[in-house]
């Protein structure tokens, strides 16, 4: 049962995507019969981090909770974010012990840097799928999906897709009724299938060395 959530926040974390995780897992709704979670935002040394919107936020803790959480979540960061070694090690340990790993939007790049996308299906925002595939050629990048689950790895596309992926995980862990009630509370659709297109029109970049049909994995 999903009980504890650790969110990794590095420099230039996107506040909206972090807020999606906080809204779903960090808001106490036990008075209305919803599950509760031990929710902690973590930075490498527990110090404040700068967001992509220019303000700073103060996390709950250092990386300690990552080693115990049932779910380790990575919100969007700049695709060029330098990931400290201890963060990569913490992600690998979480994967090795069977925790859920969940990225929102460009957070997938942090999972890729840890080697956790190799030979796994994944996705990210449509603007970044080519770069993700280039950086991590062993990843099976789905070009145009809202979210993708591969075992206990869950990756999602842009902002709203992060909400869809959260509800997918809630549905899996706590049942459809709970997920539907939570969606109603948040005033969002109760279910959008992960394979639904993340955009109706995606700009296409041809790669000079590879045929266009090889840009993303299709199974």
Phi, psi (5° rounding) for residue 112?
-65, -40
Average pLDDT, the chain: 90
| pTM metric for this prediction | 0.89
Q: Which of 201, 197, 202 is nearest to 147 (CA)?
A: 197
For residue 211, the model assigns a pLDDT of 39
Stated as kind and residue range, the H or E segment containing 50 is: strand 49-50
Task: For residue 172, give the CATH number of its domain.
Answer: 3.40.50.880
Q: Does 90 fall in a domain? A: yes
Domain that holds residue 132: 4-214
Tens digits of residue pLDDT in 118-157: 999 999 999 999 999 999 999 999 988 999 999 999 999 9
Query: Residue 216: is its pLDDT beyond 70?
Result: no
Q: Does 219 fall in a domain? A: no
Q: Does 129 fall in a domain? A: yes
Total structural domains within the chain: 1
Query: Residue 193: is its pLDDT beyond 80?
Result: no
Tens digits of residue pLDDT in 177-190: 999 999 999 999 88
Q: Does 205 fall in a domain? A: yes
């Amino acid at each position: 049962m999903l009980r504890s959530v650790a969110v990794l926040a590095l420099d230039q974390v996107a506040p909206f995507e972090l807020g999606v995780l906080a809204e779903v897992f960090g808001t106490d709704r036990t008075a209305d019969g919803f599950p509760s979670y031990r929710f902690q935002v973590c930075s490498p040394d527990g110090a404040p981090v700068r967001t992509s919107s220019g303000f700073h936020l103060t996390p709950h803790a250092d990386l300690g909770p990552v080693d115990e959480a049932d779910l380790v979540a990575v919100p969007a960061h700049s695709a060029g974010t330098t990931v400290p070694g201890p963060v990569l090690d913490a992600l690998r340990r979480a994967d090795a012990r069977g925790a859920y790993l969940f990225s929102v939007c460009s957070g997938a790049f942090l999972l890729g840097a840890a080697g956790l996308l190799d030979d796994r299906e994944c996705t990210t925002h449509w603007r970044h799928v080519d770069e993700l595939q280039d950086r991590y050629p062993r990843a099976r990048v789905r070009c145009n999906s809202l979210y993708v689950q591969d075992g206990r790895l869950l990756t999602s596309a842009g902002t709203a897709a992060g909400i869809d992926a959260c509800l997918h995980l809630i549905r899996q862990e706590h049942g459809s009724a709970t997920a539907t009630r939570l969606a109603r509370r948040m005033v969002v659709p109760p279910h959008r299938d992960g394979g639904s297109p993340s955009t109706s029109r995606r700009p296409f970049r041809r790669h000079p060395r590879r045929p266009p049909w090889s840009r993303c994995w299709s199974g």
